[in-house]
Amino acid sequence: MAIGPASLLNRARNPASLIIQPMHPLLRYATDKQEESINLLEELIECESPSDSAASVARFVDLFIEKARDIAAPKVIKNKTRGPHLRLECKLPGRRKSGQILGLGHSDTVWPLGTLADMPFRREQGRLWGPGALDMKAGLVFFLTACRALRDLDIPVARKVVLLIVSDEEVGSETSRALTEAEAQKSDAVLVLEPGTGLTGKVKTARKGVGDYTIRVEGKASHAGVDFQSGASAIVELAHQIQRIASFTNLKRGITVNPGVVSGGTRTNVVAAAAQVEVDIRVAKIAQAEPLHRKFHALKPVDKRCHITVEGGLNRPPMERTPAIAALFKKARTLGRELGVDLEESSTGGGSDGNFTAALGIPTLDGLGAVGEGAHAIHESILESRIADRTALLALLLSKV
Ligand SMILES: [Zn+2]
């Protein structure tokens, strides 16, 4: 286990602390309960829950309620298009509660039903493998175990603790955004259970904002052989526009524009009447979104016979590293040292529901879930050796924030 700089300092000042310190009680607890955590994770992974199967997500929610019922009051929030969202109010020690801490997670995964047949839950090479293990079923397990630790060790918690598990994070959080924002507004801090960055599990203190655009070009069809000149190719026009929008990328400022999907035309012997491109955009700062939006809407056809329409905008605002987020990270880092962990921070181009809560000005710390690799990929897995300290860190945060 790594020894943090803080404990080194203490040793220099106070020779008595040269005595090897016993394991932190929360770390001890999480270590003792590790097999139970692994068994629960196995059950959660084996209950597949892709975003596009509302019935499967509902089954997952039922299972999770069953696992949490003794320590939390559940509320199922339904919607028309996706699986239900789940709000759990945790019953934790401590008399007078003031304020709220929001744990934020999602039940849905990117893995279609039946993935388990080729990619079953496995315990190998010091890791736990399976669809949704890292993103983010392990994070949900850790949060639940952290709450159990606080109860079993009778550690008082000053604030109300709510765990919100939404069902559509992987598909843009359309049905859950308002709910997430409403809970965040009531909260003093938000702890997001998305995986940490890399195999050291850095937490995330900044995320880019994410948006998308569709650019449609309408041209004029004609016979490519008989009447070529009377046609106006939507494809040739789109090619110009793609060059133009690609030039909006500014890596230094953290702005990326990715024309990801193109389509258009009907046959090789027809001058194309229609073509379109779907574009992903990322911005580091909210102030960058509006100027970029204006650039998209200012696109003009090179061939005046073509017509351009632009649709889209920002879906998730960026999570900017505000002083409040920096302060929350500093606190987490200090608490990590109590567990012998040297917590680091990172920024990422990927979005999460933490983007919404941070954009409201609520101190948000993201990437507090599992440590591993391969989210959304065939090698999705978490490190067994980091289950206990991540669980203990969540418990410490809940009791000390
Ligand atoms: Zn996720």
Give 4 Cα–ligand 1 centroid separation in angstroms.
29
Give 316 Cα–ligand 1 centroid separation in angstroms.
14
Q: What is the pLDDT of residue 18?
A: 57
Query: Would you place residue 13 in the very low, low, confident or very high pLDDT band (cuts 50, 70, 90)?
Result: very low
Give 374 Cα–ligand 1 centroid separation in angstroms.
12
Which residues have CB less than 5 Å away from ligand 1 (the ion)? 135-136, 194
Give 2 Cα–ligand 1 centroid separation in angstroms.
28
Give 151 Cα–ligand 1 centroid separation in angstroms.
27
Pick the CATH number of 5-208+318-400 from 3.90.550.10, 3.40.630.10, 3.90.1640.30, 1.20.140.10: 3.40.630.10
Give 120 Cα–ligand 1 centroid separation in angstroms.
19
CB 211 within 8 A of CB 313: yes
Cα gap 396→155, rounded to integer Å: 9
Give 108 Cα–ligand 1 centroid separation in angstroms.
8
Give 268 Cα–ligand 1 centroid separation in angstroms.
42
Give 170 Cα–ligand 1 centroid separation in angstroms.
7
Give 255 Cα–ligand 1 centroid separation in angstroms.
22
Provide mean pLDDT across the span 120-138: 98
Give 352 Cα–ligand 1 centroid separation in angstroms.
7
Give 110 Cα–ligand 1 centroid separation in angstroms.
9
- Residue 16: pLDDT over 70: no
* Strands across the sheet containing 160-166: 72-77, 85-90, 160-166, 100-106, 189-192, 364-365
Give 165 Cα–ligand 1 centroid separation in angstroms.
11
Give 169 Cα–ligand 1 centroid separation in angstroms.
7
pLDDT tens digit string along 224-276? Answer: 999 999 999 999 999 999 999 999 999 999 999 999 999 999 999 999 999 99
CATH 3.40.630.10 location in the chain: 5-208+318-400
Give 305 Cα–ligand 1 centroid separation in angstroms.
45
CB 320 within 8 A of CB 207: no
Give 134 Cα–ligand 1 centroid separation in angstroms.
8
Give 34 Cα–ligand 1 centroid separation in angstroms.
22
Give 150 Cα–ligand 1 centroid separation in angstroms.
25
pLDDT tens digit string along 289-335? Answer: 999 999 999 999 999 999 999 999 999 999 999 999 999 999 999 99
3-state secondary structure the chain: CCCCHHHHHHHHHCHHHHCCCCCCHHHHHHHHCHHHHHHHHHHHHCCCCECCCHHHHHHHHHHHHHHHCCCEEEEEECCCCCCCEEEEEECCCCCCCCCEEEEEEECCECCCCCHHHHCCCEEECCEEECCCHHHHHHHHHHHHHHHHHHHHCCCCCCCEEEEEEECCHHHCCCCCHHHHHHHHHCCCEEEECCCCEHHHCEEEEEECEEEEEEEEEECECEECCCCHHHCECHHHHHHHHHHHHHCCCEHHHCEEEEEEEEEECCCCCEECCEEEEEEEEEECCHHHHHHHHHHHHCCCCCCCCCEEEEEEEEEECCECCCHHHHHHHHHHHHHHHHCCCCCCEEEECCCCCHHHHHHCCCCEEECCCCCEECCCCCCCEEEHHHHHHHHHHHHHHHHHC
pTM: 0.90
Give 106 Cα–ligand 1 centroid separation in angstroms.
7
Give 335 Cα–ligand 1 centroid separation in angstroms.
24
CATH 3.30.70.360 location in the chain: 209-316
pLDDT tens digit string along 45-98? Answer: 999 999 999 999 999 999 999 999 999 999 999 999 999 999 999 999 999 899
Architecture of the 209-316 domain:
2-Layer Sandwich (3.30)
